[in-house]
Structure 1
């Protein structure tokens, strides 16, 4: 609506421009968060620490998002959206610079945690900006464009960072890639985005009320378990392929590229399913990501077809999870979106931690069983959520029928 008010170009073209710039910023954010996955073995060797401790670079980042994300999103929801996006990306840029200088491990961990406070703020703001003046039928398309930064990162910058780190035997180059992407995104935000005052901020009460619904809380728990399933094995992707399948760093970077490339058509298929049924797309994603864990474990070598199928099923879970969460709370979509991000990152932290424990006690080859367990739990929680939602709708209908008699 702000675009009409301030007379800034046509709605259709402006929404797409905002969505693509939002996607570029998300590319930098996801590269920062998940770019360490391909270089964890190198970081562990450099600092002389076990792989599970190196994994805290991922799990601690995700845990900060989970704990601080919703509160930060609520607190900052009234600030100009362009300002929020620019400040958020600036902190990611600073993090990349400091990390590339090989600081002590404790400092590397701290500087990685700092931008995590604003990660869900950026994503929620970018989605709100891109969908703010779009027609209802185009809202999912705009959201998909913004979130395409996730799949784009998995197919470009993350494997590129891993490849460069392997070629030059320098994990620091991975952080250089992150810095460059964040810098480009910051320039695009400052130079190309219009000022976007947050004129449609809902009350705190309206937003927080969704946390009183059992069905929504079950949905949150389902998101945690789904993301935990996704990251039990993916968090240790490089270490798994290196130790279980004896792959070289160069070949691992190629596998990461194939994995990410498969996510692009996966996102397209997920978008098609979401346009038909959000519940159906969510259920299909859960069944698929749960089933692939068996293939990962029993394959003596992670073949190229299996890597492609895994990537095809992995990436769409981000999109379907957020769409499912927003559908569960239509009266507060922005807050629901930030909760989806936060609970999803809680799942990243939980999945990485549990898998780290499994690796320490049973060996890295057993990690897919943790993936299977979390996937089954997520399916059960989705069923519970749907049962609770039906009961809540019946209660609302009963109240509305009884109201005139009072």
Structure 2
């Protein structure tokens, strides 16, 4: 791995830990701050809200600066606000700290995706982007379990101290190893926001928000699915989630190669259809422990294989507004997170068992594939129109 890409991977690692470790720390935070677990769950929503707000906003504000300076500034914000999370004296301060900590998330991945694609070898742009997202998957394999263990056995605040340390290492590696690429050509705010006037942009946003919501319909309820349906012990869930993280790591790298070999749009529709198929299989085999373990790995792999193709699809579609578009894809991903968890919970509230959320996820993945198909069809028609005009 290039040193320049390592710095982006480290940023992904820190972001992955702070985003996903909250699920495991909720009981510890609730006990320490004397609040209910549902109230502590609002801290997860606060971070997601920060991502949605910060992704486009920070890019619009900082888009005219060189990418290296933008990434370093974003990592400073990330480190400071996670330090605030570590020392927050009460619930309301922690809520604000989590909201602020989410602001740099989407913008970092947006700018980082563009940088990774520019410093990559020709024909390996998506693979370079996948190496940045590898930080997220490594967080699920090692960082989140470690952070959860520390929170359970020592103090949850120490976990955020670890995130701060990762942030400082990222800052140093960005300073030393990331090449100083030139700033984007001067573009007005109106030109940047013209991206949202394109139908293709909204097709991709809908594809991400609804299609990847299929992943979160499954992942949000994976613990009760494994304990109540597959009959695993509660103590084994952490280890099974590591297996899901390994699947995400493998799938993320495979998705980068897939997007380089084929077009990103074709990779997206193929992976969304495959996700729908894997979720149907999960629904029917979850009573078998061995098959359930196999599908936990496979579903994690298929879901995260989408990361690089989605980013490359956004970048290729938004010529001149690449950083804004790539950051918006992260905001859309977090909308998918909230949407998948909400819709997946509806059949549970209606009294159905813990296999029902994955069927909701199947419908969401198929809907996302439908938007990807519409995008491919629209692009073909545009290409044919341009060809006709040229002739």
TM tier, shorter chain?
0.7 to 0.9
TM-score where L is the length of structure 2: 0.85
- Residues 340-388 of structure 1: per-residue CA shift (max 9 Å, x gap): 1221222122223333555445467132232122112112222222223
How does 1:80-159 map onto structure 2 within 5 Å? 80-101=66-87, 103-159=89-145
CA distance in 2, matches of 1:162, 1:295: 30
* Contact kept? 1:39, 1:162, Cα under 8 Å: yes
How does 1:152-171 map onto structure 2 within 5 Å? 152-166=138-152, 168=153, 170-171=155-156
Which of 32-41 and 70-79 deviates more?
A: 32-41
Which of 372-381 and 353-362 deviates more?
A: 353-362
Which of 276, 287, 297 aligns to 1:308? It is: 297
How does 1:6-405 map onto structure 2 within 5 Å? 16-40=2-26, 42-43=28-29, 47-51=34-38, 53-101=39-87, 103-166=89-152, 168=153, 170-193=155-178, 195-200=180-185, 202-238=187-223, 240-242=225-227, 244-245=229-230, 247=232, 250-277=235-262, 278-298=264-284, 299-300=286-287, 303-362=292-351, 365=354, 366-400=356-390
* Contact kept? 1:162, 1:253, Cα under 8 Å: no
CA distance in 2, matches of 1:383, 1:240: 31
Counterparts in 2 of 1:89 and 1:214: CA distance versus 1, 3 Å = same
* Contact kept? 1:267, 1:319, Cα under 8 Å: yes
Query: Please, which runs of 5 or more residues in structure 1 have no aligned partner?
Result: 1-12, 402-406
Count of residue correspondences? 385
How far is the alpha carbon of 1:224 from its aligned partner? 0.7
Task: Compute the RMSD of aligned alpha carbons.
Answer: 3.0
Counterparts in 2 of 1:121 and 1:240: CA distance versus 1, 3 Å = same
- Residues 126-167 of structure 1: per-residue CA shift (max 9 Å, x gap): 23333445554243333222222222222221222233334x
CA distance in 2, matches of 1:129, 1:361: 46
* Contact kept? 2:130, 2:308, Cα under 8 Å: yes
* Contact kept? 2:131, 2:253, Cα under 8 Å: no
How far is the alpha carbon of 1:260 from its aligned partner? 1.0
CA distance in 2, matches of 1:152, 1:260: 7
TM-score where L is the length of structure 1: 0.83
Query: Please, which runs of 5 or more residues in structure 2 have no aligned partner?
Result: none
